[in-house]
Structures are given as C-alpha cells and as structure tokens.
Amino acid sequence: MSVWPAWEVREGDRATRWLHVRLAFADGARVEALAVVTEDGVRVEEARARPGLSLEDLAVFADWIEEPLARACGVGPGGGDAAGSGAHRARADGPAGPEGGRLVAREYRAAQAEGADPVLAVMGATGCSRRGALRLIGRARDAGLLTPRHARRRAAGTAR
C-alpha cells in the first residue's frame, strides 16, 4: 500500500487532508483512491479498482485504509491526530459489560429471525462500524451468548 499527500486545508487549529492511496496486489489487481482525513474520520472521495470492487468491499474500504492513512498523517506514538489538532479521539468499542453483550446477542438474533442482516442490525444498535460490530459479535460468541460461527462436524462412524 502506498499513501502520499495530495493537498491540505487548514482552518485555525483544524486541518483537512486529502491523500492518494494505491493498493497493488500480487495477482495484478489494483485500487487507487483519493481519501479525505478529518477529525471526524476517513472518507473516500473517489476510488478506481481493477477489477471492480463489490458494494460490500467498497463499504468497508474506508475502514480498511483508515490505519495506514492515520499513520501517514502522523497518528500514533509521538504524532498528532489525523486532523492535526493534537488530540486523538479514542474510538468507542461499543456497549460494555454483560449488558452490552446481551444487547448485541438480542439484536443479532432478532435480525436473523426477520431475515435481515444481523451485522447491520448490530451496527445500527451500537453505532459501531462493520468491523466494530463484528468484533462485538465475536465477543458475544466467546461469552456464550451466541452459537459458534462454525459448528464442528464429525464424519459418520468416527468417534473421538
């Protein structure tokens, strides 16, 4: 992945940065994008992919490139935040504690029963990104509040 600056606009102590992003894969696939980094997060202004991205891939693209863009903007140990204001905003990990796990499990199962996307339901209930919602769902599974993702299957006639 390559990241390089396009331009920056400053207003007082706030900054908005546009960056070029290029991803090249071993199989020859490529994604080029123009991303905007502000204190509110990352937005993708333009993306070109060869072969084209599915809607699902495009939906998670900004989350996928967020960390490398933050590093390019100096976020991390000794750096400022992505917008240059000097105060990095912490991300919420979603609802905490046992009640949070129960909320995630309840929303997940309700969406499944309605035939809706359970991950989107958890995203809506918690305000988390898709990646954050998947993390919360994993925690709920680990806590035994949801069934395991992949049930282990045994071949017929074999015992352990």
How far apart CA 70 and CA 44 sit, in angstroms, is 14
Residue 113 banded pLDDT, cuts 50, 70, 90 = very high
* All residues at 6 or more sequence positions from 17 whose CB lies less than 8 Å from its CB, including other chains: 5, 7, 8, 36, 37, 38, 73, 82, 83, 84
- Mean pLDDT of the region 109-133: 84
pLDDT band at residue 78 using 50, 70 and 90 as cut-offs: very low
Return the CA Rg of the chain. Answer: 20
Between 14 and 86, name the one with better pLDDT: 14
Both tokens assigned to 121: 């339901």
Instruction: Return the exposure string of 94-126: e unless at least 16 CB atoms fall within 10 Å of the residue's CB, then b.
Output: bbeeeebbebbbebbeebeeeeeebbebbbebb
